[in-house]
Amino acid sequence: MSKEINNIAVFTSGGDAPGMNAAIRAVVRTSIFYNKKIFGIYRGYEGMIEGDIEELDARSVGNIIQRGGTILKSARSDEFRTKEGRQKAYENLKEKGIDALVAIGGDGTFTGLHNFYLEHKMPVICIPGTIDNDLPGTDFTIGYDTATNTVVDAVDKIRDTALSHNRLFFIEVMGRDSGYIAINSGIAGGAAAIIIPEDEMTIDELVAKLDKGVESKKSSSLVVVAEGGKLGNALQIAEEVHKRFPYYDTKVTILGHLQRGGSPTYFDRVLASKMGVYAVEGIMAGKTDVMVGIQNGITVYNDFESTMVKNHEIEPEALRISKILSI
């Protein structure tokens, strides 16, 4: 039987994502609901190594459900990649009497935590928080919905100016090496073409597609480009296209970090709230070295290893639909 857990610590790590605060709030309040002590670790693994840890209460997480970013701050730590760094972190946690960890982050966070678990056997659980939606084992990660809505809003605005000047816009979106944000914001924003790492088209194919649009009297064209593609970034693609398509007035917008900010959508707040509750209940029930996920409405706990080996695959239907509708 697993040892009873009394003192839990929560932290955020890697790139922040809208909805992380809602997840922190849920973890804190669920822990208190079940009469556990709950600590916040600031600046992810950096704070764990430096002992930047503080006990939280239900009021510490008041008025944060609607806020983007993370009140616990986030960082990427090189020291935690080392055995010595993880040992230091373990000693700080033990000193505070912490006996379980809840991490909110992406695959980099999981890798660190998995190694920590193998070395120290402290129960650990992860909540998927990243705008990229690149983790298998959950239909959605916290922050993806908000980021995609932010992109769609930007695409709509760019369309207004593109139409007014008959311009061809290349809009680069985040996602690291995943095309999730690009494919769905491209469909929702009515893009003429969507370039994603999972289904790369050549420059010739892209030009042929855009040419068809001109022939069928399209007065503006928006191309959504995922940042991680092999064809290059939006600037490079735009330059290549311009060489072959000089009669088009070409512009590039890189949306960048604005995709990471802003108030989380209702969807991300509810997702984060559910996952926060399930993470604490999972760890109390003896689940460890797992990521909480929600698939087809069902709560699942997947081994870290299975979530780290591959990317969350783009639905083939999304690809098919985008091709039909962008003629």
Cα 33 to Cα 28: distance, rounded to the nearest angstrom: 9
Please tell me whether residue 145 binds ligand F6P under the rule CB under 6 A.
no
Cα distances from 276 to residues 30, 88, 135, 153, 296, in angstroms, run: 8, 27, 17, 28, 18
Q: Is 132 a catalytic residue?
A: yes
- Total of chain residues touching ligand F6P, rule CB under 6 A: 10
**Stretch of 126-134, 247-255, 298-306, 307-315 contacting ligand F6P, by CB under 6 A:** 126-134
The least distance separating ligand F6P from the CB of residue 173, rounded to whole angstroms, comes to 8
Taking phi over 0 as left and psi of -120 to 50 as alpha, with beta for the rest, 234 belongs to: alpha
Beta carbons of 89 and 80 less than 8 angstroms apart: yes
Q: Which is nearer to ligand F6P, 53 or 131 (CB)?
A: 131
Please tell me whether residue 19 binds ligand F6P under the rule CB under 6 A.
no
| Interaction mask 260-289, ligand F6P, x per CB under 6 A | x-----------------------------
Q: Which is nearer to ligand F6P, 117 or 180 (CB)?
A: 180
The least distance separating ligand F6P from the CB of residue 256, rounded to whole angstroms, comes to 9
**Stretch of 45-53, 79-87, 124-132, 301-309 contacting ligand F6P, by CB under 6 A:** 124-132
Side chain identity at residue 180, one-letter code: Y
Half-sphere exposure of 36 (CA within 13 A, CB side): 24
| Active-site entry in 16, 99, 107, 132 | 132
Site for ligand F6P in 224-253 (CB under 6 A): 227
Q: Which is nearer to ligand F6P, 43 or 176 (CB)?
A: 176
Site for ligand F6P in 45-104 (CB under 6 A): none
Q: Which is nearer to ligand F6P, 175 or 186 (CB)?
A: 175
**Stretch of 31-39, 168-176, 192-200, 211-219 contacting ligand F6P, by CB under 6 A:** 168-176
Q: Which is nearer to ligand F6P, 15 or 229 (CB)?
A: 15
Half-sphere exposure of 90 (CA within 13 A, CB side): 18
- Sequence-distant (6+) residues with CB within 8 A of 143 are 16, 17, 18, 19, 20, 129, 130, 131, 260, 264, 268
Cα distances from 242 to residues 161, 164, 170, 247, in angstroms, run: 19, 20, 11, 8
**Stretch of 77-85, 87-95, 171-179, 313-321 contacting ligand F6P, by CB under 6 A:** 171-179
Helices 234-244, 203-215: axis angle to 10 degrees equals 60
Please tell me whether residue 36 binds ligand F6P under the rule CB under 6 A.
no
Cα 162 to Cα 157: distance, rounded to the nearest angstrom: 9
With tokens 């003429």, the residue in question is 192
**Stretch of 170-178, 193-201, 242-250, 283-291 contacting ligand F6P, by CB under 6 A:** 170-178
User: 10 Å Cβ neighbour count for 209?
Assistant: 17
Q: Which is nearer to ligand F6P, 39 or 80 (CB)?
A: 80
With tokens 């996920």, the residue in question is 293
| Interface with ligand F6P (CB under 6 A) | 15, 106, 130-132, 174-176, 227, 260
Q: Which residues are catalytic?
A: 132
